[in-house]
Structure 1
Amino acid sequence: MTTTPPPPLLRVRDLTVTFPGRRRGSAPVRAVDGIGFDVAAGETLGLVGESGCGKSTTGRTIVRLLEPTAGSVAFDGREIGRLPQRALKPLRRDLQMVFQDPHSSLNPRQTVARIISDPLLTQGGSAAAARKRAVELMELVGLIPEHIDRYPHEFSGGQAQRIGIARALATSPRLVVADEPVSALDVSVQAQIVNLMERLQRELGLAYLFIAHDLSVVKRVCDRVAVMYLGRIVEIGAKERVYTAPAHPYTRALLSAVPLPDPAAERSRERITLLGDPPSPAAPPPGCTFHPRCPKAQAVCRTEAPPLRVAVAGEPREVACHFPEAG
């Protein structure tokens, strides 16, 4: 007897986000171009790619800091992509975000107590209960509760990011969108924040959408990986398969740039260098958008956009490529 898997906590389908051109009459910019993925309860999905590929826009649209142009975003089976702001308020208890730059995402005029308490106060909680919860969260993320009445500038970058994480956890969310949560931090501090996020996931049963460009960090924390290029997902699958046998040429190029800890292996391995820069999302090339930089491009790549489809039969991995690598 087969059991039906539970529905995903987050379900994204054909999500598109388009911005108007900077100048009058200029072409609109399609920052996110019809992507789709699922995030299960307790899972971590990594969203990776070069700067400007649409990763952060995707995360901000999911939590409705940006409005989708088209497509569907469903949380726990409920369509939220078109909900009015008033209806979004109770949903924000379950769906929170951690931002890239900890200091710029914290109000410098507010104390840490107010910053962490604010989500609870917005949801109608009492000031006393919100402050008590803030003290608990300070301890949970490894900060000294006695510092709760200090201001953000009195904390280091790593401490400020812990405050941002505490704020995101104030309402006991089920899904946290983490937008480059360690990229603005020193390497030694990055490891501390990653360890903290992993511990919180185990203890609280959190699901993460982990947006990053550092593939080493993604390999450490994620269960599955989705690779974006110019607003589209070009490969998505289990971390082990994507890292050991990447099927898309872009994924292979990204992984070849990740430093190896073994100097001998680093010197002997093949480094894939992509030609040129990514095209403008305001004027994407026809066919496969990666074909101007792809070493395997053929005539069909210049005219037909490859759909995202199963790369290897029986394997839960999809790739958008006419000529994927055999895993």
Structure 2
Amino acid sequence: MKLWDIYATMKSDVSFIERELERTIVSDHELLNETSLHLLKSGGKRIRPVFVLLAGKFGTYDLEQLKRVAVPLELIHMASLVHDDVIDDANTRRGNLTVKSKWDNRIAMYTGDYIYGKALMLITELKNPSIHQILSKAMVQMCLGEMEQIRDFFNTEQSVRQYLLRIRRKTALLIAISCQLGALAAGASAKVSQALYRYGYNVGMTFQIRDDVLDLIGTEAQLGKPPGNDIKQGNITLPVLYALQEPKLREPLLAHIHHIRERNGETDVTEALELIRGSQGIRTAEELANRYLDKALEALKALPNQRAKKSLKDIAHFIANRSH
């Protein structure tokens, strides 16, 4: 099943959010307008807005209210990608030129800052102080996650726990609060919003681990960028950490990582990828991703039975098994 098949019953509402995203970032400043729209039109799964909408189904569903959560959360995600691309010196994303590649680093940073600002302007229209507190805390955590990733570039001594904390901050929290804030904006009960937070957090962890696995085993056609991009940038992900725990692989893999670092990522990583693919690292990482998936599905049991619950279950399975 494709993701857009799962979205099918929400097609008009997702299209509405897409139009609102464009309307929100339109600017009188010609260059900002061009860069922001370039980022928006490069696509994306729109998982976070969809989680907001589905969570809203467990309360009083009001698209005008929910857009004030769905649009800002997607904008925050988009802004973080622009900044990521500068940090990672990435030239393409989803097969398209990044803002930093098409323009330059300064323009990319200003574009990201502008989109963050637009997100915060829109969400102030919601009067529930809990929503603002949850969002601000999550944004602080996301920044910490970014700093930790930079700190741990090429750090082969980091623990699995460090990796998990980092992806919790960088990825899982924003997905978790997408579910939680959608429920709060719709006036759902505390029990429902907490269950949705647990679901979103565990789906987010599954999402990032799967993303890190795909970077090692996917093709350029699937990924929209060359495989092995993470290791070139010095991002030591879960499958690599597990592979480094295998005595026979540790020294040769360390030698490859050291070589990649010396060349600032400007080198062929085929042999390093072959070592990782031949290890138990991929399988062990996938097993952990599946444990998070099981926790996400368990959290759904606290929710009333309705179509939105089935959609959340289907999305979780899609995320765990996706190939792009």
Q: TM-score, normalised by structure 2?
A: 0.29
Q: Which has more strand, going by share of residues?
A: 1
Structure with greater helix share of residues: 2
- TM-score (normalizing by structure 1): 0.29
